[in-house]
Structure 1
Amino acid sequence: MRRRSLLLAAVPAGLVTLAGCGGGKSDSSKASASPSPSVSSVPPPKIVDGPLPAITAGTKFGEKPTVAKGQGEPSKDLAVKTVIAGGGRAVAENDFIQANYLGQIWNTAKVFDNSYDRKSPLVMQLAQGSIIDGWRYALVGKKVGSRVQIAVPPTWGYGKAGQPQAGIKGTDTLVFVIDLVDVFNSKSSAKGTEVPQTDAALPKVATNTDGNVPKVTVPKTSPPTKLVSVYVLEGDGPEVGANQAVLCQFQGLVWDSGKTFQQTYGSGRLSQFSLQQMQEAVKGLAQGLTSKKVGSRVLIVVPPDLGYGDTPPGGGVIKKGSTLVFTVDILAAM
């Protein structure tokens, strides 16, 4: 399992997970416990241009930067500088961002965390209680493809308590270099290449990419008895590993009735879950997403023995022995 970022809260806000459908666990964290940033009651910071230490190496977008030690006293305000201006979509409050970053302490230049060495951008929600406030205020309005450098005083970082496990004191100003790789919200969809749907024995899935729920037409035939996982739209991103978590849009239907039991499309939310933990809730969904490419829409048909079997969640449309049909837009993996 990958090491969890120091920036994230225990459970990011604005998510739904499939544990709501049954008795499985749900948690978007990827590894060891990490303290949540405190929910700030202080007013928004004044944003200033500097001072900020020089980036001395790794100056291109996507390269691991080397940052000099801060000179003199840092600002008591939030210092923000767009080092490289991107041309992608602007980030809004409550969006999920995908970013590479490096963080170090102003007066020592000690690097306490970075995603470049993990070779996997971090996915996080820009929402109060999900991430330190310095990031929230600094990144709203910045565009995908941008490199942003910020200096975060304790008030909008970890406060007076600091972050002892990372060696951050309550008086430390933190310096970050952040490369904005992508941004997602509730209107995001897969953007892959259409794959012909030629098997009449499988549901047909719409290929709209406007964030609206794709229509699913279930054939009036007996469902398959084995797990099915096929592309509807095939993306060009990396394959999802069995030890990763995914950020996605999804809907789940029951084969026999065609009724939807849960979905994110049109709900104003996204879903984020670990495939390892999904093994405890809907094993077939976890297996069906493993090795599929980021950016894809996937049709997954889950037979009862890999779904809820004879113990469906109470009060819903899923019955004993139900075959489940999922469409999943894989937006990011981490």
Structure 2
Amino acid sequence: MRRRSLLLAVPAGLITLSACGEDTADKDKDQVAESPSAPEPGASAKVVDGPVPAITAGTKFGEKPTVAKGEGKPSGDLAVKTVIAGSGTTVAEGDYVQAHYLGQIWDTAKVFDNSYDRKQPLVIQLQQGSVIDGWRIGLAGKKTNSRVEMAVPPSLGYGSEGRGDIKGTDTMVFVIDVQDTFNGKSSAKGKEAPQDDAALPKVGTNTDGKAPSITVPKAAAPKKLVAEYILEGDGEEVKPEDKLLLQYKGVLWDGGKEFDSTYSREQLAAFPLQQLIKGWQEGLAGKKVGSRVMLVVPPDLGYGDQASEGIPANSTLVFTLDILAKM
């Protein structure tokens, strides 16, 4: 099906969610985003409260930390300490988390990765195979706006083979500032924008994680792309090369029948914008993260004269999209 080749109907869980993707430069950038497909045999998933090294500078949430060298022998279990307790939403395994982090080696205090210098937090799903198991297990149950420090043994990191400068015997130390969490019940939280044009669909402004309504007018469909804010966020503007974390719903202009929705799957979508239909590429570029956007996509920017799953040929499509985060 053409729609599947352009990712619009692929559940997020079927896409490679590693921030590293297949780009060589990215593989050198995000060191937590690849992991063994399963913990090594005999790996302990027991969580203990220490030991973890002291944070000696950059002690506030959101500041780049400086972390002392580990003292003595690290635990063979996963050591997790909440350094700053936030009061936000609780993170669950399977959620996407947005976080700044610094990682270094226990024995040497050598920093092998940090997102603070990149000025771009990592957004990644806490599921096996997408992130190292230390993060997947250690961040579950924490609240947003928390700073978490953890010492990850090799068995819950990159295993006995290691990765890059990280040897198979190295315990990794992370300081993680958990900014936000997203799941299938997440919504954009932007400011309501006017919906004054009677010739355009009306989209619901609910922010409870349920699918917004889309009411299509009994009128001729626009011939050109329409891209309008429903809720205007205050995040960064979307660039054409971005990968986005989205909630969305699509209906046909003729009859208003739903043909696709992340809400019905209760599973977010993570898409590189450049791999999507032209209507999404052109309509979302320049829009702000944290927004709900309504797109009316004419056939030439959608699926044209090719029928697809639930979409007749030459269909005008209407989407509501919540831009939750850049990945």
TM-score, normalised to structure 1's length? 0.87
Which residue of 319, 330, 333 corresponds with 2:312?
A: 319
**Does residue 1:274 correspond to 2:272, yes or no?**
yes
Mapped partners of 1:210, 1:57: distance in 2: 39
Mapped partners of 1:264, 1:31: distance in 2: 25
Mapped partners of 2:68, 2:231: distance in 1: 45
SS of the residue 1:150 aligns to? strand
Which residue of 22, 32, 39 corresponds with 2:23?
A: 32
SS of the residue 2:265 aligns to? coil
Say whether the 8 Å CA contact 1:21–1:261 is kept in structure 2.
no
Structure 2 equivalent of residue 114 of structure 1: 114
Mapped partners of 2:264, 2:181: distance in 1: 18
Mapped partners of 1:38, 1:87: distance in 2: 32
Which residue of 190, 195, 201 corresponds with 1:203?
A: 201
Residues 1:180 and 1:305: Cα distance change in structure 2 (over 3 Å): same
**Does residue 1:289 correspond to 2:288, yes or no?**
no
Structure 2 equivalent of residue 19 of structure 1: 7
- Residue ranges of structure 2 left out of the alignment (5+ in a row): 28-33
Mapped partners of 2:134, 2:191: distance in 1: 38
Say whether the 8 Å CA contact 1:79–1:151 is kept in structure 2.
yes
Matches within 5 A, 1:244-283: 244-278=242-276, 282-283=277-278
Q: Larger deviation: 119-128 or 179-188?
A: 119-128
Mapped partners of 2:53, 2:208: distance in 1: 41
Mapped partners of 1:255, 1:49: distance in 2: 55
Provide Cα deviations, 1:276-295, integer angstroms capped at 9, x if missing partner: 222xxx11112111111111
Structure 2 equivalent of residue 141 of structure 1: 141
**Does residue 1:90 correspond to 2:90, yes or no?**
yes
Residues 1:42 and 1:227: Cα distance change in structure 2 (over 3 Å): farther
Q: Larger deviation: 283-292 or 35-44?
A: 35-44
Which residue of 293, 299, 319 corresponds with 1:298?
A: 293
Provide Cα deviations, 1:100-158, integer angstroms capped at 9, x if missing partner: 00111111222111111111111111112221111122111111000000000001111
Matches within 5 A, 1:63-74: 63-74=63-74
Identity percentage of aligned residues: 62
Mapped partners of 1:310, 1:85: distance in 2: 54
Residues 1:269 and 1:223: Cα distance change in structure 2 (over 3 Å): same
Structure 2 equivalent of residue 194 of structure 1: 192
Say whether the 8 Å CA contact 2:43–2:156 is kept in structure 1.
no
Provide Cα deviations, 1:159-191, integer angstroms capped at 9, x if missing partner: 111113xx1111110000000000111111111
Residues 1:153 and 1:32: Cα distance change in structure 2 (over 3 Å): same
Mapped partners of 1:36, 1:302: distance in 2: 38
CA-based RMSD of the aligned residues comes to: 2.0
| Equivalent position amino acid for 2:278 in 1 | K
Matches within 5 A, 1:110-189: 110-164=110-164, 167-189=165-187
Say whether the 8 Å CA contact 2:232–2:292 is kept in structure 1.
yes
Say whether the 8 Å CA contact 2:201–2:215 is kept in structure 1.
yes
Shift of 1:237: 1.6
Mapped partners of 2:307, 2:273: distance in 1: 20
- Residue ranges of structure 1 left out of the alignment (5+ in a row): 1-15
| Equivalent position amino acid for 1:321 in 2 | N
Mapped partners of 1:106, 1:123: distance in 2: 25
SS of the residue 1:186 aligns to? coil
Mapped partners of 1:312, 1:172: distance in 2: 54
**Does residue 1:221 correspond to 2:219, yes or no?**
yes
Residues 1:44 and 1:71: Cα distance change in structure 2 (over 3 Å): closer
**How many residues are matched?**
310
**Does residue 1:308 correspond to 2:303, yes or no?**
yes
Mapped partners of 1:17, 1:78: distance in 2: 40
Shift of 1:67: 1.3
SS of the residue 1:79 aligns to? strand
**Does residue 1:333 correspond to 2:321, yes or no?**
no
Shift of 1:49: 2.0
Mapped partners of 2:73, 2:286: distance in 1: 49
Say whether the 8 Å CA contact 2:35–2:157 is kept in structure 1.
no
Mapped partners of 1:328, 1:286: distance in 2: 12
SS of the residue 2:170 aligns to? coil
Mapped partners of 1:157, 1:201: distance in 2: 54
Mapped partners of 1:285, 1:44: distance in 2: 44
Residues 1:185 and 1:257: Cα distance change in structure 2 (over 3 Å): same
Q: Larger deviation: 152-161 or 316-325?
A: 316-325
Shift of 1:83: 0.9
